[in-house]
Amino acid sequence: MKTILFSAVWLCAAAALASAFNPLHHSGPAAPYFDAPSQAGIPKEIPEGCVVDQAAYIVRHGARYPEPGSYTGWISLYNNLQNSSTPYNVSGPLAFLKTWVPPVDDPAHMPLYLSGVGALESFQLGVLLRNKYKFTPGGGNLTVWSAGQERVLATAANFLRGYLAQGSYVNNATLNRGSIVSMPDSVNWTSADSLTFTNGCPNYSKGDKSGPMKSAWSALWQPRVAARLNSLYVTGNLSFTGSDVSVMGDLCGFSAGVDGDTRFCDIFTPSEWLDYEYGNDLNYYYGSGPGNPFAGTSAWPLVKSISDLLVAGPGKTLAPGTFTPSPLIMSFTHDNDLPPVIAALGLWNSTVGVYPLSNSTRSPDRDFRSSYLVSFRGYVALERLNCSSPSASSRKGTYVRVQANSAPIPIPGCTSGPGSSCPLDEFSAYVQARQAVVGEFVSTCNNTAANATQGAVVDFFMNEDWEGSMSRGQRILLGVGDLVGLGS
């Protein structure tokens, strides 16, 4: 009986320890989606006495197979394991590497494309938001906007299938239908009127200092991990390098998102995972976040467009609009297009003594965490709160709150509303004032495109001339059961 009792206690303690630290919650852009923890003590729930009557989401695509460059790293690790000239042995958390095979069985097709987990993440988001907001009645339709690459379009399509999955309207082609406005991807002539707006900002790449910052950090921690692994778990003619450590870190999140294999997640210690995560934080902070002086510039017109929609309220068409957006405004894009939104809003960059981020010492008190923003299916959401029922925790009025992966983020100097939200009129003024901080798009970005004078305006949410405008592309219609070709 004592042995059984001891075993039960040990298992409970082990389970508690495992739940205390999850490497997938520190895997940056390789992490399958997870809800970020609450920040600054702000509850995630909609404040008492309030309802969300309008919401705008900017969403990264769901989990995908690796990019070709990353896949090359996987193959290099595999070849190193298979082609060792003399026998070797790996033990402990590395033992599985003797038989490990990269989880890509169609290399010519799979890289860059959405995985099954990514499709599921997208579908689940659709179901979640349909039930959370109850904006769309049975038979209602929804239009969403998407960057043009296949994995982003597939995310948008699976979101719509989840959002519209309630009921069957196969006999009426006008009901329960989704529209995807597929916008040009990775082009510069769209200026700011795009979901890949950084491509319209020539100075953006000049402000990207992520390479040397992350490289300096990688040179500190990766060789240290390689030495630990080699001394503890490797015998014979095999030696892991810092580059191998980088690949192993990426494979934790990617393998989990491709085929559910989490064995790579057991290789690093919690402290090493925090070092891995910090490398990704440096990459995004200095590459596409507040550490790039042109990141906020590139995203400000999109933020201003959303702010104007929230001020107008649900069901309103803004000039020169010909289209009335749904109360749920959904746009889908890439990981590098989310940190600029945070930068444009002036978030996660205000703690004295923390920013700019050090490339030699991990900053434990930083707010900027790539894992909480650019995980697969990560998002920035802006919710308009209509608080009409007075209570102990809310006041009558209209407010805005910003979320990243479900966690509300306080807006600097504007947290007087319920749940630390920002009064709508103050939010509008705050966004307008941010332009003076980040700079006007055309001049600050040095945009010389033919449409540069219009380049600072984002109106694709309101203008239905999607086919006719050079900044808008194909409109795709689909029902829940439709099979739609989504080639890029």
Going residue by residue through the chain (488 aa), what tens digit of pLDDT does each one get?
Answer: 433 333 333 334 333 344 589 999 999 999 999 999 999 999 999 999 999 999 999 999 999 999 889 999 999 999 999 876 678 999 999 999 999 999 988 887 787 899 999 999 999 999 999 999 999 998 899 999 999 999 999 999 999 999 998 777 878 878 888 999 988 887 777 789 899 999 999 999 999 999 999 999 999 999 999 999 999 999 998 999 999 999 999 999 999 999 999 999 999 999 999 999 999 999 999 999 999 999 999 999 999 999 999 999 999 999 888 899 999 999 999 999 999 999 999 999 988 889 999 999 999 999 999 999 999 999 999 999 999 866 655 689 999 999 999 999 999 999 999 999 999 999 999 999 999 999 999 999 998 876 666 667 898 899 876 654 434 455 666 554 443 433 33
CB 187 within 8 A of CB 325: no
Per-residue pLDDT at 488: 33
Position 472 scores a pLDDT of 47
Lookup: tokens for 105: 């069985």
User: What's the maximum distance between 2 C-alpha atoms anywhere in the chain?
Assistant: 81
| 465 labelled catalytic | no
Decide if 399 is inside a domain.
Answer: yes
Same domain, yes or no: 334 and 371: yes
Q: What CA–CA distance (Å, rounded) separates 80 from 297? A: 44
Q: State how many domains the chain has.
A: 2
Q: Is residue 4 part of a domain?
A: no
Peptide bond into 137 cis (omega under 30): no
Residue 398 lies in a domain: yes
Does residue 250 sit in the same domain as residue 386? no
Q: Are residues 160 and 193 in the same domain?
A: yes
In order of 44, 51, 58, 405, 406, the CA distances from 420 in angstroms are: 11, 15, 21, 17, 15
Q: What is the pLDDT of residue 478?
A: 58
Q: Are residues 279 and 334 in the same domain?
A: no
- Asked if residue 377 and residue 351 are part of one domain, the reply reads yes
Residues 74 and 170 in one domain: no
Residue 322: the pLDDT is: 85
Long-range contacts of 439-444 (CB under 8 A, 24+ apart): 439/294, 439/297, 440/297, 441/191, 441/192, 441/200, 441/201, 441/297, 441/298, 441/300, 441/301, 442/191, 444/203, 444/294, 444/297
pLDDT, residue 353, reads: 87
Which helix (DSSP H) or strand (DSSP E) does residue 14 occupy?
helix 2-20
The pLDDT of residue 6: 33
Distance separating alpha carbons of residues 434 and 298, to the nearest angstrom:
12
257, 287, 317 — which closes off a domain? 287
Note the pLDDT of residue 244.
97
Tell whether 341 and 424 lie within a shared domain.
yes
Residues 351 and 265 grouped into a single domain: no
Has 61 been annotated as catalytic? yes
Residue 18 falls inside a structural domain: no
**317 & 451 share domain:** yes
Structure tokens at 463: 């203008």
Domain boundary among 264, 287, 310: 287
Q: Which two structure tokens, joined as six digits, stand for 216?
A: 């300096």
Is the pTM above the cut of 0.85? yes
Q: How far apart are CA 488 and CA 478, in angstroms?
A: 17
Does residue 311 sit within a domain? Answer: yes
Kindly state whether residues 414 and 437 are assigned to the same domain.
yes
- Residue 11 in any domain: the answer is no
Catalytic residue among 61, 244, 250, 308: 61
Residue at 37 is within a domain: yes
Please pick, among 275, 281, 308, 335, the residue that the annotation labels catalytic. 335
Question: What pLDDT score was predicted for residue 450?
Answer: 66
Residues 246 and 320 in one domain: no
Instruction: Tell me, yes or no, whether 55 and 83 share the same domain.
Output: no
Compute the distance between CA of residue 13 and CA of residue 254 in angstroms, rounded to an integer: 28
CATH number of 31's domain:
3.40.50.1240
The residue among 287, 307, 322 that closes a domain is 287
Instruction: Report yes or no on 306 lying in a domain.
Output: yes
Domain containing residue 83: 66-112+209-287
